[in-house]
Amino acid sequence: MKTVILCGVSLLLIATSLAQVATIDTRGQKTTMPSLHIGEGTLAGASSHDALKLILNLPDPSRLIIGKPFDYELLVANRSGKTVLLPKAAAWSEVDDVGQRDKRYQDLQISFEVFADDGNLGFLNACLMLFGNASRAETMVALQPGQSVRILGSTAFAPQWQRRPAQTTGTRLMAFLTVASYVLHPGDRKDEAYRSEGHQIYSVESDGNLYIEFPAPQ
């Protein structure tokens, strides 16, 4: 309980020291994926790991239930010396370049991993995806140096474990955020899939100090 209180206090102190420019509330929203047939593609690396800081907070880290949804709050801060643009649209239709042969957009993906002190690892998949288009300002949030954006979300606590967990003590929850830009190229024929060319822009993880508790699976 002491660790939970300290995490909450730390988040509050950091949040008040950063200028928040927006809140993206995705709770109750359903992400709509691209309405295109996307086939093969490439994704280049070389993303920045230092431009952003990611802070994860839960309303009650001691009451997670396997298979049940939980709410989370992410504070994404720009700690670089230049403007950072982050996608914020939940619907693909908001960024679709209708009428354009090549489709250009960015996506922001959030996932979670559960770490146990005995080395066990659990993955929470398909947690959140947001879209943005640099030519549509309403789909992006601009963070000046020192500014932050708050992302509110909800997802099911259903870890896919490396091995069946024996206990729940010493278990931490970490969030991972990536931003990538894509260009979708159509095939020569109408029935051909789009080819994707992607490049990772940002990649960041939370600090890993958020301890959680939940009943072990029976």
Gap between the Cα atoms of 21 and 100, Å rounded: 32
Joined tokens for residue 146: 């020192």
Contact in structure between 26 and 181 (CB atoms under 8 Å)? no
Q: What is the DSSP string of 29-78?
A: --PBPPSS-EEEEEEE---BSSSEEEEEE-S-TT---TTSEEEEEEEEEE
pLDDT of residue 153: 95
What pLDDT does residue 218 have?
58
The pLDDT score that the predictor gives to residue 168 is 58
Report pLDDT for 173. 95
Nearest to 131 by CA among 181, 175, 176: 181
Identify the pLDDT of residue 116.
Answer: 86
pLDDT value for 216: 65
Specify the pLDDT at position 120.
87
Residue 2: predicted pLDDT: 42
Q: What is the pLDDT of residue 3?
A: 44
Q: List per-block mean pLDDT (blocks of 10 residues) for the chain, which spans 218 residues.
A: 44 55 90 82 83 96 90 97 96 88 94 89 88 94 97 93 73 95 87 89 94 76
